Chain A
């Protein structure tokens, strides 16, 4: 059978224009000739594609008509896109991105922020449902726990009217990391972009899962550094900080480890300093080769002698394992700034070299109490 005829036949077959005899005959040929059958299947598939294409195009056309009608009516607001207004508009639209990019001094296609770990975000759609369900159960569980708490509280009220009610924190909207630099006044260092996410409450959570209220003391978007203070009275002061904060820049090739909260529990990671400067030769940052994920923002980068070398901030999006950290001397500059502020004058880096010579497991054990999950909403 010739190709033209075949296509013709296939089209008539699909449209149901064949007589029953023709149909049987056509099906018979297809059965006996796999190659021919293949081209028929292919052609039918193609016709379907063509049909869908037409449908979608028509629909889009109609849609656009409705949209422009509604826009004319003012029901749908479109930002004006002319002259100066357009610039302002573009600015407004991408303010956040630009701010972030500028703060890491790389405007091109590069940097992503590692703050937010979403609880139900998953790249594989097939795991998505499961996660959501877990969330649902979790939410239910929380509700139940909440109710039990309430009942408890009520019964306690009856028996002993004291029981001060602990403030209930609302659900967190993001998760990141921070670490203590002053165990007397409870100051924590993290990224500015983390603190900015907290519109209502800033909460820190220790490795035991206890949550404490904190407030932002210092937020510097230019170098993406922030210092926050735990203001919760429930927070018990910790022993002196086991790591020191290095005053000089990290050296190329130094082995490092980090602790952070890319998930609900603390996660350990290892790597090395791979370049002295950050993206586009930004001198505020150094480059690490380590695996960091969303939620790692604010993680401390520590070397084998217990010297803190940097703060994880961002990673390159199109290259695996290229991570940028703010160099540690910036912390000293920030602390100097905080000292000038009212109410925060007392800030003092209280660090002791207590990790030197210890094996890694011991080091982690000592450090993890000083690394906090930063949450908020």
Chain B
């Protein structure tokens, strides 16, 4: 779990190895395909990751149980969206309530895609510039050198302009979505 928060690939791999088969059989037994299973597990991993990031996170059940609960809920949701009302069979595995996480996750997913759209709209070099500063957390001097600005202040002004545009695009969607 800690490894996950650090974005450690080994941790991800371990979780996959320990839990994937369980989720795959859950999805396959409930009118899903192997691809559905892969999607669901991936989404579950993202939920888990988001969860591991929050400071007040506490897992008061088995990780396996938690993963199963999240996947199960996500799959049910997906089935509902596909307008099939097959009833989930009685649970063989224990589950814990995960409604809050799923809701949170959906919110974050929509935020993510809004930001993605906004990012794709601002174009280059804005996109790379902002990514370099805000996501890769590079120093302004470094960025100025990388992008060929004569000094850090020029880069900063440019970054500021880009940021305002991105903000505008993002909030336009955000307010529409609300």
Contact = CB atoms under 8 A, between A and B. Distances in A.
B115 A75 contact: no
Contacts of B20: 70, 75-76
Contacts of A174: 86-87
Nearest to A123: B80
B97 A53 contact: no
A171 B91 CA distance: 12
Interface stretch (A19-27, A56-64, A205-213, A224-232): A56-64
Interface in B26-59: 31, 33-35, 38, 42, 45-46, 49-50, 53
B9 A7 contact: no
B83 interface: yes
A121 B13 contact: no
A50 B135 contact: yes
**Majority SS of interface residues in chain B?**
helix
A145 interface: no
A4 B160 contact: yes
Interface in A86-109: 89, 92-93, 96-97
Contacts of A52: 108, 111-112
A174 B86 CA distance: 7
Contacts of B119: 53
B53 A55 contact: yes
Contact of A97 (B13, B46, B84): B84
Interface string B69-84: 0000000100010111
A79 B37 CA distance: 11
A17 B43 CA distance: 36
A51 B134 contact: yes
Q: Of residues A66, A113, A173, which shows the largest number of chain B Cβ atoms within 10 Å of its Cβ?
A: A66
A221 interface: no
B99 A129 contact: yes
Contacts of B76: 121
Contacts of B130: 50
B133 to A, nearest CB: 10
A182 interface: no
B2 interface: no
A141 interface: no
Nearest to B42: A63
Nearest to A113: B85
Nearest to B52: A59
B16 interface: yes
B49 A59 contact: yes
B38 A78 contact: yes
Interface residues of A, number: 55
A65 B85 contact: no
Contacts of A164: none
Contacts of B170: 46, 49
A53 B112 contact: yes
A67 interface: yes
A58 B26 CA distance: 28
Interface in A105-160: 112-119, 121, 125, 128-129, 132
Task: Give the interface residue-count category, chain B.
Answer: 35 or more
Contacts of A85: none
A294 interface: yes
B42 A97 contact: no
A173 B87 contact: yes
Contacts of B86: 116, 174, 197
Q: Of residues B85, B88, B102, which shows the largest number of chain A Cβ atoms within 10 Å of its Cβ?
A: B85
Contact of A116 (B9, B87, B103, B134): B87
Nearest to B45: A63
Contacts of B99: 125, 128-129
Interface of A: 3-4, 7, 42-43, 46-47, 49-60, 62-63, 65-67, 69-70, 75-79, 89, 92-93, 96-97, 112-119, 121, 125, 128-129, 132, 171, 173-174, 197, 294, 317
30 contacts: A3-B164, A7-B160, A43-B167, A46-B167, A46-B171, A47-B134, A50-B130, A51-B134, A53-B115, A53-B116, A55-B7, A56-B112, A57-B135, A63-B12, A63-B46, A67-B38, A70-B13, A76-B20, A78-B35, A78-B38, A92-B33, A93-B33, A116-B86, A116-B87, A118-B87, A125-B100, A125-B103, A128-B99, A129-B99, A173-B89
Interface of B: 7, 9, 12-13, 16-17, 20, 24, 31, 33-35, 38, 42, 45-46, 49-50, 53, 76, 80, 82-90, 97, 99-100, 102-103, 108, 111-112, 115-116, 119, 130-131, 134-136, 157, 160, 163-164, 167, 170-171
The 10 closest A-B pairs by CB, nearest first: A54-B135, A112-B83, A125-B99, A53-B115, A116-B85, A118-B87, A66-B12, A93-B33, A116-B87, A50-B134
Given A53-B135, A173-B89, 12 more contacts: A51-B135, A52-B112, A59-B49, A60-B46, A75-B16, A76-B16, A76-B20, A77-B24, A78-B35, A79-B35, A113-B84, A118-B87
